[in-house]
Structure 1
């Protein structure tokens, strides 16, 4: 697991490039904020977190609990899910708006066109919605 990246993953880089090309400027991985969010847009009081489907236990076809060491993985992924909920609520309590982009929206056979994902994030940034989520299979939660 030491080889698994937590920063600068391919899905995260896709989102960053798309937002930057649209003129958005942002900070990365601020350790002062709960959960060290991937992208911080202070002007919009917004945080964007790009999550991997496996380690965060997303309910999509990219997540499958391993057959070996099942107890370990079940406990690990359950604690990751609980931590995600706690961190998101802490971020909202601090006045931040939170967007979650799942890996399945950017990779695999059920991915969404990158321009559509960036369009959705752009619309959300200009809205007043507190929380926003983008999943694979065109399952965007509209702002």
Structure 2
């Protein structure tokens, strides 16, 4: 189904970049774990969604579409395909830079993917909480949480 340019523009304007449902879920988990954190940390490169300074941990809650996560929730748009390929490629390049810079500053990094938080294949909230807690307390590397659970980040995000 093709959507008019006007309707597409309206839809895109309604998409928020912070305080999204996935971010609110992660914030609730951090609160349940009694973890001190700062939300939307603009003072650190990459502006992590959550920063846990005690653990030198940066948490990003990434939308599967916006960051090109190859999961069941990602679908390349039919319209203006050239634009979106370029946009998603630039997002991916920026994400790689952010990981490198944060690691050089001594921070560990985790991406919590949208597919882990919402939809039919989302993780059980207690499993998600266990994954975040395990990474914060024991993990010392870059990781990601998707609909299959916690895993080390071995390639670009």
TM-score range normalised by the length of the shorter chain: over 0.9
Q: Check if 1:58 corresponds to 2:57.
A: no
Q: Give the alignment partner of residue 78 of structure 2, picking from 50, 53, 67.
A: 67
Q: Check if 1:99 corresponds to 2:99.
A: no
The residue number in structure 2 matching 1:141 is 151
Superposed counterparts of 1:1-143, under 5 Å = 1-136=12-147, 138-141=148-151
In structure 2, the gaps of 5 or more residues are 1-11, 153-157
Root-mean-square deviation (CA, aligned residues, Å) is 1.5
In structure 1, the gaps of 5 or more residues are none
For the Cα contact (< 8 Å) 1:92–1:130, is it kept in 2? no
Q: Which has the larger radius of gyration?
A: 2
Higher relative contact order (CA 8 A, sep 6+): 1
Query: Structure 1 stretch 89-98 or stretch 127-136: which is displaced more?
Result: 127-136
Q: Once superposed, which parts of structure 1, at least 4 consecutive aligned residues long, lie more than 3 Å away?
A: none
Partner SS state of residue 126, structure 1 = helix
TM-score (normalised: structure 1):
0.94
| Structure with more helix by fraction | 2
Distance across 1 between alignment mates of 2:126 and 2:50: 18
Q: CA deviation at 1:128?
A: 4.1
For the Cα contact (< 8 Å) 1:88–1:98, is it kept in 2? yes
| Residues 72-101 of structure 1: CA deviation (Å, up to 9, x unaligned) | 011001110111111111111100011110
Residues paired across the two proteins, number: 142
TM-score (normalised: structure 2):
0.86
Distance across 2 between alignment mates of 1:120 and 1:75: 33
